[in-house]
């Protein structure tokens, strides 16, 4: 039953984190639909570029996940310097690693698209767009590292707000007119995404570089629900109470440097202040409350699943009549084993 308690903090962190991933993903999917209006060749090139991007993104994504886990654990352990070092190291590693696809794309700019398609028009357009994608991937790697730091420090809400503004208020409103009203066509969409990633990388880097790590240590341990803060006045303590307090507070339990700045509104009125960390036991839900609240969540999940199944069964997808956006041989109408999944 303990696993069904205290879902509020998990939801407060997980839902914005999910939106950070989904809003970026949805932005790419919208681009696929819009590119289809330009023609099958543009749609095919867009599909190939997204496949290349998805394939390479697994490397920054793995570093992002490991960074968020390490920072979260270090903050929970009170190691602010370790968390700060991990954050800096993740950005440096991401920058160095992002140079690898740049070299590969420069050397194999005209050969790489044929791994995903054998249609010459699609491969040629993909090769033309790959220089834009090189810039995109470089700044995407930096932004991904910074997002991992936000994940680790529990600031997913800031990331979700930034991604919503950058994608849906800037990138798409700028990219769509560039696609349909200028000669750039699909390149306009990628230039808009690239500008979006440059802006994201700059803003996120400024945010994480100004992180107050002592404050994040306190916040992480508060979110974990294992500590609280109790401010004690030395001048109001008896001698016996002082000795007891000194016995309870070890060196590892003393507040980190900068804690007073983080709690200035509380500590300004204190002459000599220390923080005593105690176990915080939140009120648990009763059995009936658990059944009602968690059962309600289960019902919603079942309804969402049922809606998805119903949509799959009731919506008929028209058959494809073009080979330009697939890896199918036009001269014989059979699938060509040139995709990454087929080569593995």
Nearest to 340 by CA among 331, 329, 323, 327: 327
Q: Which two tokens stand for residue 286?
A: 């009763």
In this predicted structure, the answer to whether residue 234 has a pLDDT above a threshold of 50 is: no
Q: Which two tokens stand for residue 76?
A: 């929970």
In this prediction, residues 155-184 reach a mean pLDDT of: 91
In this prediction, residues 150-155 reach a mean pLDDT of: 90
pLDDT of 191 reads 94
Render pLDDT for 14-67 as a digit per residue (tens, 0 to 9). Answer: 888 888 888 888 988 898 889 888 888 899 999 999 999 988 899 999 999 999
**232 bridge partner residues:** 274
Block residue for tokens 């003393």: 254
In this predicted structure, the answer to whether residue 90 has a pLDDT above a threshold of 70 is: yes
Render pLDDT for 24-34 as a digit per residue (tens, 0 to 9). Answer: 889 888 988 89
In this predicted structure, the answer to whether residue 336 has a pLDDT above a threshold of 60 is: no
Report the percentage of the chain scoring pLDDT > 90: 35
Average pLDDT, the chain: 77
In this prediction, residues 204-218 reach a mean pLDDT of: 91
Banded model confidence at residue 227, pLDDT cuts 50, 70, 90: low
Q: Which two tokens stand for residue 262?
A: 């983080």
Residues 6+ apart with CB under 8 A from 111: none
Q: Which two tokens stand for residue 168?
A: 């849906």
Tell me which H or E stretch contains 231. strand 230-233
Distance CA 135, CA 117 (A): 23
Distance CA 215, CA 223 (A): 12
In this predicted structure, the answer to whether residue 252 has a pLDDT above a threshold of 60 is: no
Distances (CA, A) of 231 to 216, 265, 271: 18, 12, 11
Q: Are the C-beta atoms of residues 268 and 257 closer than 8 Å to each other? A: no
Domain spans of the chain, in order of start: 2-219, 229-276
pLDDT of 283 reads 60
How does DSSP classify residue 230? E
Distances (CA, A) of 313 to 272, 303, 307, 308, 335: 69, 15, 10, 9, 26
Length of the chain: 344
Distance CA 337, CA 317 (A): 24
The four Cα atoms 135, 136, 139, 141 give a dihedral, to 10 degrees, of -120
In this predicted structure, the answer to whether residue 332 has a pLDDT above a threshold of 50 is: no
Distance CA 198, CA 192 (A): 10
In this prediction, residues 78-96 reach a mean pLDDT of: 92
Distances (CA, A) of 337 to 53, 125, 165, 324: 20, 21, 40, 16
For CA atoms 107, 108, 110, 113, the dihedral sign is: negative
Render pLDDT for 282-326 as a digit per residue (tens, 0 to 9). Answer: 567 777 777 777 788 889 989 999 999 998 888 887 775 554 444
Distance CA 67, CA 73 (A): 10
Q: Are the C-beta atoms of residues 276 and 249 closer than 8 Å to each other? A: yes
DSSP codes of every residue in 198-243? HHHHHHHHHHHHT--HHHHHHHHHHHTTS---EEEEGGGS-HHHHH
Report the percentage of the chain scoring pLDDT > 70: 74
In this prediction, residues 269-276 reach a mean pLDDT of: 37
Q: Are the C-beta atoms of residues 187 and 129 closer than 8 Å to each other? A: yes
């Amino acid at each position: 039953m303990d696993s069904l308690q205290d879902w509020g903090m998990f939801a407060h962190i997980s839902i914005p984190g999910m939106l950070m991933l989904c809003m970026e993903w949805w932005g790419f999917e919208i681009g696929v639909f819009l590119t289809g209006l330009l023609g099958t060749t543009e749609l095919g090139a867009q599909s190939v570029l997204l496949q290349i991007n998805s394939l390479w993104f697994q490397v920054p994504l793995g570093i992002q996940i490991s960074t968020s886990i390490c920072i979260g654990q270090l903050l929970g352990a009170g190691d602010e310097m370790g968390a700060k070092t991990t954050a800096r190291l993740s950005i440096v590693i991401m920058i160095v690693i992002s140079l690898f696809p740049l070299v590969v794309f420069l050397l194999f700019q005209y050969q790489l698209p044929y791994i995903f398609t054998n249609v010459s028009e699609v491969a040629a357009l993909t090769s033309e767009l790959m220089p834009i994608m090189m810039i995109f991937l470089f700044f995407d790697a930096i932004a991904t590292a910074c997002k991992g730091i936000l994940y680790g420090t529990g600031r997913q809400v800031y990331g979700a707000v930034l991604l919503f503004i950058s994608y849906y208020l800037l990138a798409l409103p700028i990219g769509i007119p560039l696609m349909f009203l200028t000669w750039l066509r699909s390149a306009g969409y990628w230039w808009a995404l690239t500008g979006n990633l440059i802006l994201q990388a700059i803003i996120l880097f400024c945010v994480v570089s100004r992180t107050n790590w002592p404050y994040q240590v306190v916040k992480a341990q508060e979110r974990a629900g294992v500590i609280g803060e109790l401010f004690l006045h030395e001048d109001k303590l008896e001698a016996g109470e002082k000795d007891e307090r000194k016995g309870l507070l070890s060196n590892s339990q003393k507040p980190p440097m900068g804690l007073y700045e983080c709690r200035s509104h509380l500590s300004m009125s204190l002459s000599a202040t220390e923080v005593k960390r105690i176990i915080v036991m939140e009120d648990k839900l009763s059995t009936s409350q658990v059944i009602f609240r968690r059962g309600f969540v289960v019902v919603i999940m079942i309804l969402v699943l049922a809606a998805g199944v119903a949509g799959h069964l009731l919506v008929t997808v028209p058959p494809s009549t073009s080979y330009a956006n697939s890896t199918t041989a036009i001269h014989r109408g059979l699938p060509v084993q040139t995709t990454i999944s087929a080569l593995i």
